[in-house]
Amino acid sequence: MVRCTNCDYKWKTKDVLAVSIANHGKTCPNCGKKQYLSKNTQHYLSLGYVSLFFLLIVPFVIKLSDREEHIW
């Protein structure tokens, strides 16, 4: 599961889905430090594979970063 890079807090599924659609990151519910999708995760999400299977595995493949990274 997804964990904060600052405090190692285990994120809930709804928070993971929220950060996956947020353009400018989301603050950690535990420590308040802003977290962003890692570059690799952004790459996977940019592929555009939207299916029920993909939505079910999103919480397990998302990785967070403590700084904003751009794909391009």
DSSP the chain: --B-TTT--B--HHHHHHHHH-TT-EE-TTT--EEEE-HHHHHHHHT---SHHHHHHHHHH--EESS-----
Q: Are 59 and 37 in contact (CB under 8 A)?
A: no
**pLDDT band at 18; cut points 50, 70, 90:** confident
pTM over 0.85: no
The answer to whether 13 touches 61, Cβ cutoff 8 Å, is no
Check residue 11 and give its pLDDT: 92
Chain length of the chain: 72
Residue-range domain boundaries for the chain: 13-65
Q: What is the pLDDT of residues 31-63, one digit of tens each?
A: 999 999 888 777 777 666 555 566 677 777 778
